[in-house]
Amino acid sequence: MFTGIVTAIGTIRRLTPIGSGRDMRVSIATPPGWLGGVAIGASICCSGCCLTVVSLDGDAFEVEISAESLSRTTLGTWVEGARINLERSLRMGDEMGGHVVSGHVDGVAEVVSVTPENGSNRFTFRLPPGLARFVAEKGSITIDGVSLTVNQVGGNAVEGDTFGVNLIPHTTEVTALGALAPGARVNIEIDMLARYVARLREFSA
């Protein structure tokens, strides 16, 4: 379990196909000391996707990613040198700074536009069909592992609805979201509370 508060930016150090070549082993470098206390088997949220540490090497760790995850997330587009958002799993007593994040990606959204707005930047994204009903204005959403507040919703259900968030300079500096440009693709996790409410309504209808 995570909170959507990124605590480090990692760098993809090495990509190695495993098995038949469809799965991937990835080495990720982290800031000095960030992995202190992390053991093999621990979970780390990597740009929104919960991955298991299978190897440790100083300030780097390795994960293995299945073909299924590579095809359903942006992880399949990672290249050596790419920067990704990192968060260690929540521990008892940690501050809940964002919202409850599982690290299970619901879909991939596309950046439609980036517009300066009163000292911040408004990022507009297009959701894949089927997810728009879970996204509400002033609700929470996770974008590449970052917990954000939805400031605007719109679009149409045929093309996949749009939503907007505002990123303050601090967020663009301490996460990898500042590098996003129109056309970029990001991992999306909807607020799990919205999913459960929608499911309950289906049964009560």
Average of per-residue pLDDT across 110-131: 94
Which stretches of 30-184 are assigned E, i.e. beta strand? Answer: 43-46, 49-57, 60-65, 83-88, 107-117, 120-126, 140-143, 146-149, 152-154, 162-167
Q: Could you tell me if 57 and 19 lie in one domain?
A: yes
Average of per-residue pLDDT across 16-32: 93
Range of the domain at 165: 107-204
- Supply the pLDDT for residue 141: 96
Per-residue pLDDT for 172 more than 80? Answer: yes
Tell me if the pTM is above 0.75: yes
Average of per-residue pLDDT across 14-42: 95
Query: Residues 129, 130, 131, CA angle at the centre, nearest 5°?
Result: 100
Average of per-residue pLDDT across 65-94: 93
Q: Could you tell me if 194 and 111 lie in one domain?
A: yes
101 is a domain residue: no
* Conformational region of residue 44, where left means phi above 0, alpha means psi within -120 to 50, and beta covers everything else: beta
Q: Could you tell me if 74 and 158 lie in one domain?
A: no
> Higher-confidence residue: 198 or 188?
188
Q: How far is CA 104 from CA 18, 21, 72, 163, 189, in A?
A: 22, 23, 11, 20, 7
129 is a domain residue: yes
- Supply the pLDDT for residue 160: 58
Sorting pLDDT into bands at 50, 70 and 90, what band is 99? confident
Q: Give 110's strand partners.
A: 126, 185
Sorting pLDDT into bands at 50, 70 and 90, what band is 12? very high
Sorting pLDDT into bands at 50, 70 and 90, what band is 9? very high
CB 75 within 8 A of CB 47: yes
Distance between CA atoms of 104 and 85, rounded to whole angstroms? 15
Q: Could you tell me if 118 and 84 lie in one domain?
A: no
- Supply the pLDDT for residue 156: 58
Q: Of 34, 59, 88, which one is at a domain's C-terminal end?
A: 88
Q: Could you tell me if 72 and 151 lie in one domain?
A: no
Number of domains in the chain: 2
39 burial type by CB count under 10 A (0-12 exposed, 13-18 middle, 19+ buried): exposed
Q: How much of the chain exceeds pLDDT 70, in percent?
A: 94
- Nearest Cα neighbor of 45 from 24, 61, 25 is 61
CB 204 within 8 A of CB 193: no
Q: Could you tell me if 55 and 117 lie in one domain?
A: no
Average of per-residue pLDDT across 22-30: 97
Q: Which two tokens stand for residue 11?
A: 């760098």
Sorting pLDDT into bands at 50, 70 and 90, what band is 120? very high
Q: What is the CATH number of the domain that holds 145?
A: 2.40.30.20
User: Mean of the per-residue pLDDT values for the chain?
Assistant: 92
- Supply the pLDDT for residue 157: 52
Sorting pLDDT into bands at 50, 70 and 90, what band is 190? very high
